[in-house]
Structure 1
Amino acid sequence: MDSSITPLSNASMSLAERLAMYAPAIGKGLAITALLSAAAIAMGFVAAVTLYGLRNRWPRIGAGAVRIYVSFFRGTPLLVQLLMLFYLPAAFGVDLNPWLSAAAVLALNSAAFQSEILRAGFNAIPAAQIEAASVFGLTWRQTLWHIQLPQVLRLILPSLTSEAIDIIKGSAVISVLAIADLMRVGKQLSALTYRPLEVYICIAFAYLALTCIVTAAAAVIQRRSA
């Protein structure tokens, strides 16, 4: 954000001029929020597939461990998870990069929700398909990637879209780590301009624009895959 913006510099500005002044900082914050959210959703999906594999391949030990994992990340606030991961390594003398902490926590949190979404999708696939794949000599991994996942992704796309939107909105908590995401930018602009309502309305519309883009992209993908 431009440090030349001061509380007095916007006193005689029109609304349009003030919005133009906010735009560069909000644009940068929007890009950071989008990047971190996309990384978290992608990593969370990979982790969710891994959790499904643990639950499926080792029903006794794996299923129990996955249930504990899912219960923890679904049952505790995202902010608490973020602060735990950021400060826990420090207790052992390890300084964790704030960006890494933010991406990791968002991904771990999303993985817990995505794993349940995936489980519902996998359960919807007829067991006869899995049996047929086994008869034709496909391994578990081949069956997963070539038969199950393509069908599951089509089935769960609406739920995954909702999860992606939740992650984008939930990412606002990473501002506590001094990462210049949308919410952090909003706090800084509000402090510098003394116009909190105006600034946060702009921030709200920036979040809305990002979630609308995700929704529109998902709708296009769903139409093309139908």
Structure 2
Amino acid sequence: MTLKLFTLLLQAAISTVGISLVSIAIGFVIAILLSAARLSGKAIYVAPTQLFISFFRGVPLLVQLLLIYTLLPVIGINVPSVVAAIIGLSLCTAAYQAENMRGGFESVPKGLIEAAEVTGLNPTQTFFRIRVPIALRLTLPALVNEAIMILKSSSLVSVVGIIEITKMAQDLASSTYLPIPIFLSAGLIYLVINWVIAMLGRYAEKSLAGTSA
């Protein structure tokens, strides 16, 4: 295992982390919107939201990526492979994040919501200023776990032409006939990235706990 091969794996890791982080961020925004739709209690919003969550939680991510990658050109939308990959990962993680946050929203004390209404906050302000911060604090560990899962699942984006860590490791292993050191190195890179995410999650959790204290 040479430094040059390891450098190629690190370059692929940058692509993996970039795609994953962008997808997680977009997915979080979508998850908040899905949660708002569910909390509205209106069937016109709740039914499509539940269908969305059921679909993207029930269909394998690999199938979702292939469907998005092949469907977009059919309807006249031509996007780079990386965009298709981000769309697929974002929609998938949004469904899981929304479901994770559901318990957090349900745990928000009704007294706080009533107090917000008394102070003159409208439903939108109450949602973003009261419900979202509390739900985020309560569900942060689950959201961090989902971030780690999405980063590991990003290995599937190779099916749409993205060279990420796993794909790079496969290509290098087949060309150098050094599968064991290359795949061990790829595993080590994944381990370090996920460890950093976990540590950042714990730091954020402590920060939020200190803020609420």
Fold similarity call, TM over 0.5? yes
2:98 is matched with: 115
Counterpart amino acid of residue 56 in structure 1: L
Q: How does 1:97-176 map to 2 (within 5 A)?
A: 97-176=80-159
1:45 aligns to 2:39 (yes or no): no
Which deviates more from structure 2 when the two are superposed, residues 186-195 or residues 76-85?
Answer: 186-195
1:189 is matched with: 172
Aligned partners of 2:77, 2:99: CA distance in 1, in Å? 32
Aligned partners of 1:148, 1:90: CA distance in 2, in Å? 39
The equivalent position to 1:222 in structure 2, one of 192, 205, 211, is: 205
2:42 is matched with: 59
1:93: how far off? 4.3
Structure 2: 5+ residue runs without aligned partners?
none
Q: Give deviations 1:43-74, integer Å, cap 9, x for gaps.
A: 00000000011112252121111111111000
Structure 1 residues 138 and 163, CA gap change in structure 2 (3 angstroms): same
Counterpart amino acid of residue 175 in structure 2: L
Matched-pair identity in %: 33
What secondary structure is seen at the aligned counterpart in 2 of 1:179? coil
1:96: how far off? 2.5
Q: Is the 8 A contact 1:33 1:168 kept in 2?
A: yes
1:25 is matched with: 8
Q: Is the 8 A contact 1:178 1:184 kept in 2?
A: no
Aligned partners of 1:57, 1:141: CA distance in 2, in Å? 10
1:89 aligns to 2:72 (yes or no): yes
- The count of corresponding residues between Structure 1 and Structure 2 is 209
Q: Give deviations 1:15-58, integer Å, cap 9, x for gaps.
A: xxx24122211111111111111111110000000001111225
Aligned partners of 2:52, 2:194: CA distance in 1, in Å? 27
1:12 is matched with: none
What secondary structure is seen at the aligned counterpart in 2 of 1:96? coil
What secondary structure is seen at the aligned counterpart in 1 of 2:163? coil
Structure 1: 5+ residue runs without aligned partners?
1-17
Max Rg structure: 1
1:204 aligns to 2:196 (yes or no): no
Aligned partners of 1:131, 1:93: CA distance in 2, in Å? 48
Normalising by the residue count of structure 2, what TM-score does the alignment of the two structures yield? 0.94
Aligned partners of 1:90, 1:165: CA distance in 2, in Å? 30
What secondary structure is seen at the aligned counterpart in 2 of 1:137? coil
Structure with bigger helix share is: 2
1:180: how far off? 1.8
Q: Give deviations 1:150-170, integer Å, cap 9, x for gaps.
A: 211111110001000010011
Aligned partners of 1:64, 1:179: CA distance in 2, in Å? 34
Which deviates more from structure 2 when the two are superposed, residues 158-167 or residues 174-183?
Answer: 174-183
1:192: how far off? 1.5
